[in-house]
Chains A and B, each alone.
Chain A
């Protein structure tokens, strides 16, 4: 079904829906990078499906052309697992925010990592709940006191996406930055090419509720290549890092989970089991 016309330019992957995002929001950079990665890989746009949850970031599903599912808060990975099981040939991108993926959807995140179905999970991490107007998320630092909900900060250590993904069995873990577009496109391409579950945590500044994230531009730094394929080495790298190291943090070929069943029986064969005359062998 590959579209032969294949005018694979990034803007072909962008829909006509105008984003609701604030000017300067990091999510624009992620949208642009994804369309470039699709174009680079010449993916037939009707065979890419973007599944998302709820949040500013999750709105991205409607901004990409092609098929998409903008579901409920936190459940995108589960919805995508069902879709992938039913339609293995589709390219699946799951996108959402840090709240969506690590808080309300935390359990699905763990199980998506260990299930290792072939899909790319892009978490647009701004360390805040943008859509609900600026509450602390699991990745917010404990002493961030700018939310009315937690005026003295959460007092709770941050969720460590990369470390947890590794522990949960993910086979590809990377970190990108919305403000470093070329590197981000390269990471997304590698993630899309990786067979199995690939997680890309994208630092994606929230202009409105975390303006101080502008400083990320100066603070981010690359990790060394090549990425470790050994989990304990990757753990050391991830644990010793300041959360601002960009690049692939871990990549390993692990068995990809994908039911592929051929028709071996007709319904009538199954129904025959109920007949009294059938004596089990």
Chain B
């Protein structure tokens, strides 16, 4: 079941969407809600897009079963994001005026409902709550779950607001008069909708990708965060601010990203696992600092929530176009970790793992998320809590007559790190090339050995199975990363059902690349590399690493519109048909 709710500023489209998501969750569904907003700072038009059902949901479908238009203000701005079909049920208020011209083909599907008039009949009534009732009825969500969701969402505003909302929801909760219409394959009926009492809500989480990233960092041990706000990463920092302090950690608001990256280098040098979150422009400013962390072997984690680029680009919308800067943005030979979260729940795991890896390997971890993950909410099963037991290896006092050497070459490839305050283990961390003792050195030999150590500690560790999510098998293999994973999985399911068994590989650890394992996973398949950027950044990276079988194809296009399953299937089947001619 899927639905989109649109409205101009103040109409409450996103509130309505959140409530439907919460109601669906309470009715036992998994769900996903993405949102889209116009460029206005406040009060611009916005849209909430939802999908829910019995399985975990990690992408939007190809079209929407229900469109609820609270009004028509700037509706056309969302037309590209909300594909409709002849089966879409459109809910609209006659008092909001005529439907815009682009809805002409769908006119017979419009079900008119007096949202404003009904809301006005109740003191304090709000028409978006009438719409919630109407959407819930059309989507066959039980009334009790919707009322509970309203209580949970609005109780902060007081009992009267909740009571008014409940009454509006009840007024709206009527079966659409377009009786017999199909909504996402469900026959809508004229019989009274389900008003039974909801059971206790399932033990699931309602979480956004940005909250999940923050939580993953905390699970990984992060207890210091430096913060400079930037869309669409700010919510990570805002979620962390009041919470990290309760865990005994702290968050500093920095004057800019040059400061925030250096602040976390300082705190990490002090022994406290540290991270920051940013988006493209901020990541660009952090590059010199990241190089310092690499050279001085100070562990830090940077979450980059991607938006359309380059430059200020499209701040409020998604794109997967920062892979190149994450991989290649640092000057010098500066090996580091690059990871990408595959869906909202995976933000928890990926950040947790990335933090632990950075700590263990005394390395920089750049973790890529994007607006589509960060600012969307999902109903998920509570994520497992794996025990990585990695963490930082602390130096112990040297034996009598020996000197501690911070950058010592050791058999395992990692130089034990001390912490200021530890007697007898002092050193000066340095971005200048140095010898094993940490003394600045421009000798070729010191440069070669320290460079090699910093490379080998990353290429030499065994990441285990988490480097990728591998799903299914077949002669067709879709290789992808980041938020596109959801749409690719769904495309693969369809292709498999159509008789083209398809494997999906979602890369979680992008650098260091697990070339051997990846080659093995790709062997004997027709590979497509699927990603949301114009230039095929992952494709070119993998080509350079010579891991792609001959004949590999790229499906890459820029954002901000997310890849959809049908689009992926279309590209692959058309190309295959073409190959046969």
A residues at B contact (CB < 8 Å): 1, 3, 15, 17, 44-47, 49-51, 59, 61-62, 64-72, 74-75, 78-87, 89-90, 107-108, 110-111, 259, 261-267, 269-271, 274-281
Contact = CB atoms under 8 A, between A and B. Distances in A.
A259 B429 contact: no
B274 A86 contact: yes
B246 A264 contact: yes
B514 interface: no
Interface in B35-91: none
Contact of A17 (B26, B219, B274, B439): B439
Interface in B229-265: 243-252, 254-256, 258-260, 262-265
A23 B204 CA distance: 69
Contacts of B430: 62, 69-70
Given A86-B267, A267-B218, A78 B258 contact: yes
Contacts of B420: 46-47, 49, 67, 83, 87, 90
B226 to A, nearest CB: 6
A69 B429 contact: yes
B156 A82 contact: no
A86 B250 contact: yes
B156 A280 contact: yes
A267 B152 CA distance: 23
B266 A46 contact: no
Contact of B262 (A71, A276, A277): A71
A44 B424 CA distance: 11
A191 to B, nearest CB: 20
B215 interface: yes
Contacts, number: 203
Most buried by B among A69, A82, A266: A82
A261 B260 CA distance: 20
Interface of B: 22, 25-26, 151-152, 155-156, 200-207, 211, 215, 218-219, 223-224, 226, 243-252, 254-256, 258-260, 262-272, 274, 288-289, 291-292, 296, 379, 382, 420-432, 439-440
Nearest to B291: A72
A83 B426 contact: no
Nearest to B427: A67
Given A62-B440, A261-B250, A276-B206, A45 B263 contact: no
Contacts of A61: 428
Given A86-B274, A265-B246, A276 B22 contact: yes
A196 B289 CA distance: 26
A83 B270 contact: yes
B258 A75 contact: yes
Closest 4 CB pairs of A and B: A82-B263, A82-B266, A68-B428, A83-B266
Contacts of A261: 244-250
B439 A3 contact: no
B247 A78 contact: no
A280 B152 contact: yes
A72 B421 contact: no
Nearest to A80: B266
A278 to B, nearest CB: 8
Contacts of B429: 68-71
A275 B380 CA distance: 10
B267 A83 contact: yes
Contacts of B431: 70-72
Nearest to B440: A62
A213 B271 CA distance: 42
Contacts of B248: 261-264
B245 A259 contact: yes
B428 A67 contact: yes
25 contacts: A1-B421, A46-B424, A67-B420, A67-B428, A69-B265, A69-B296, A74-B258, A75-B289, A79-B269, A83-B267, A83-B270, A85-B263, A108-B259, A111-B259, A259-B252, A264-B246, A270-B215, A270-B218, A270-B247, A274-B382, A275-B205, A276-B206, A277-B200, A279-B155, A280-B155
B263 A79 contact: yes
A276 B26 contact: yes
A115 to B, nearest CB: 9
Contacts of A1: 421, 423
A17 B435 CA distance: 12
B345 to A, nearest CB: 11
Contact of A263 (B152, B247, B264, B269): B247
Given A70-B429, A70-B432, A78 B207 contact: no
B492 to A, nearest CB: 29
Given A1-B421, A69-B428, 15 more contacts: A17-B439, A46-B425, A71-B431, A82-B226, A82-B262, A82-B266, A83-B420, A86-B266, A86-B272, A87-B272, A261-B247, A263-B247, A269-B246, A276-B152, A281-B155
B266 A78 contact: yes
Nearest to B383: A271
A271 B352 CA distance: 14
A53 to B, nearest CB: 10
Nearest to A44: B423
Contacts of B424: 46
Contacts of A49: 420
Nearest to B154: A280
Contacts of B266: 51, 69, 78-84, 86
A50 B263 CA distance: 15
Contacts of A266: 247
Contact of B252 (A44, A85, A265, A267): A85
A278 B246 CA distance: 19
A134 B259 CA distance: 27
A51 to B, nearest CB: 7
Nearest to B252: A85
Nearest to B201: A276
A107 B255 contact: yes
Contacts of B156: 280-281
